[in-house]
Amino acid sequence: MTEQPWTVRRVLGWTAPHFEKLGVDAPRLTAELLLAHVLDTSRVRLYADLDRPLEKGELAAFRTLIARRSAGEPTQYLTGRREFYGHSFQVDPRVLIPRPETELLVEAVLRALPRDSNSRVLELGAGSGCIAVSIALGNARTRVVATELSPDAVEVARSNARTLGVADRVEVRQGDLFAPLAAGRPFEVVASNPPYVARPELPTLSAEVRKEPHLALDGGEDGLDVVRRIVSGASAWLVPGGLLALEIGDGQGPRVQSLLEDAGYGSVRIERDLARHDRLAFGTRNRGPQDTPREGSLGSDPH
Ligand code: GLN
């Protein structure tokens, strides 16, 4: 009696319900992503090859991934890749896995940047580099300086900037928030997805999120420790009229709105994501009196 071979079809047919029983998110998709990774192919190509039998080594490698995923390791750490803003980023446990909501931050920054003149963006807490790199790819006239405290994450961000072809316009510097910046020209935009989870909530996060770097999540007692430091420090690094754009957590909108207003930012607004959670906060650096044309004058420049 010959044993039935483990084909792509049969392996997927076994794994998806297995993941479902364990409560793994998107069980079929997860099975496909992991199998495509083991077979060094794409999800779409799996379907062109449903009757392909797996070799012994492939089956063993896939079994290992099933076990690791079942134990709560995020799919993206197992495959080493995550799509973000249409680009494929290298990710591993040294960095937070890019979230789809964060694409809204990238979009807002790209909307704010002029397309016909050069501009400079500062990103604080670059992690994988997904924000900085996506901004650079989205606007060829933009240079991004990205700071990141974790030396491990700095390596990942630099590697993504290189692989995605923008290393000449994305400069990743290691250090805390503004610390790695030398006094110099201010930026048109300061953007950040800082750690904003309130410390008491950290233990309640899913097993997957708890495998991500603590540093990228822990926002202190009320979640806003880093937000407060960014709000108070950013205006000194913005051109007059420049934009501060932050990702924030659900329910933090009113408090971040007050922080921005109390710090003197103008045009403060909070935006929600598609799940209708508070997700983005914006403020602009007010133009100083010297930048505001006096009433009845044509401004300081006679031309
Ligand atoms: N949105 C992240 C989460 O899922 C939090 C990321 C952050 O703190 N910036 O928990």
Model pTM score = 0.91
Residue 117: alpha-carbon gap to chain centroid: 26
pLDDT for 107-133, tens place per residue?
999 999 999 999 999 999 999 999 999
At 3 the pLDDT is 78
55 phi and psi angles, rounded to 5 deg: -75, 160
Instruction: Establish whether residue 209 lines the binding site of ligand 1, counting it when its CB lies within 6 angstroms of any ligand atom.
Output: yes
pLDDT at 301: 36
Q: How far is Cα 55 from Cα 32, in angstroms, rounded to an integer? A: 17
Q: What percent of the chain has pLDDT over 70?
A: 94
Instruction: List the residue whose alpha carbon is closest to atom 9 of ligand 1.
Output: 195
Ligand 1 atom nearest to CA at 196: 8
Q: Is the CB of 199 under 6 A from ligand 1?
A: no
What is the pLDDT at residue 292?
45
* Distance from Cα 99 to the centre of ligand 1, integer Å: 8
Tokens of 7: 């084909």
Q: Which atom of ligand 1 is nearest to the CA of 194?
A: 9
CA 173 to ligand 1 center in whole angstroms: 22
The finding on whether 202 has its CB within 6 A of some atom of ligand 1 is no
- Confidence class for position 257, pLDDT limits 50, 70, 90: very high
Q: Is the predicted pLDDT of residue 300 greater than 60, yes or no?
A: no
Q: Beta strands 87-90 and 81-84: pairing type?
A: antiparallel
For residue 302, the model assigns a pLDDT of 32
As a whole number of Å, the end-to-end CA separation of the chain is: 92
CA distance 236 to 123: 14
Q: Tell me if 196 CB under 6 Å of ligand 1.
A: yes
Q: pLDDT category, 287, cuts 50, 70, 90?
A: confident
**99 Cβ closer than 6 Å to some ligand 1 atom:** yes
Where is average pLDDT lowest: 45-54, 102-111, 279-288? 279-288
Tell me the average pLDDT across 46-69.
97
Q: Report the separation in Å between the CA atom of 206 and the middle of ligand 1, taken as the mean of its atom positions.
A: 12
pLDDT given at position 182: 87
pLDDT per position as a tens digit, 150-193: 999 999 999 999 999 999 999 999 999 999 998 888 999 999 99
**Spatial contact of 144 and 171, defined as CB atoms under 8 Å apart:** yes
Average pLDDT of the chain is: 94
- Bridge-based pairing of strands 238-247 and 278-284 is antiparallel
Q: Beta 187-192 vs 278-284: how paired, if at all?
A: unpaired
Q: What is the pLDDT of residue 1?
A: 55
- Please state the rounded mean pLDDT for residues 222-235: 98
Amino acid letter, 128: S
Ligand 1 centroid to Cα of residue 272, in Å, is 15
Give the span between the Cα atoms of 199 and 218, in whole angstroms: 6
Residue 77 Cβ inside 6 Å of ligand 1? The answer reads: no
Please, which residues have CB within 8 angstroms of residue 118's CB and are 6 or more apart in sequence?
Answer: 141, 142, 143
Query: Is a pLDDT exceeding 80 seen at residue 61?
Result: yes
pLDDT at 276 over 90: yes
pLDDT confidence of residue 204: 96
Q: pLDDT higher for 288 or 67?
A: 67
The DSSP letter of residue 13 is H
* CA 58, 60, 63, 68 torsion-angle sign: negative
Look at residue 229 in the predicted model and tell me its pLDDT: 98
Q: Using only C-alpha atoms, what is the Rg of the chain?
A: 23
Choosing from 196, 214, 218 the residue with most ligand 1 atoms within 8 A of its CB, the one to mutate for a pocket test is 196
228 lines ligand 1 (CB under 6 A): no
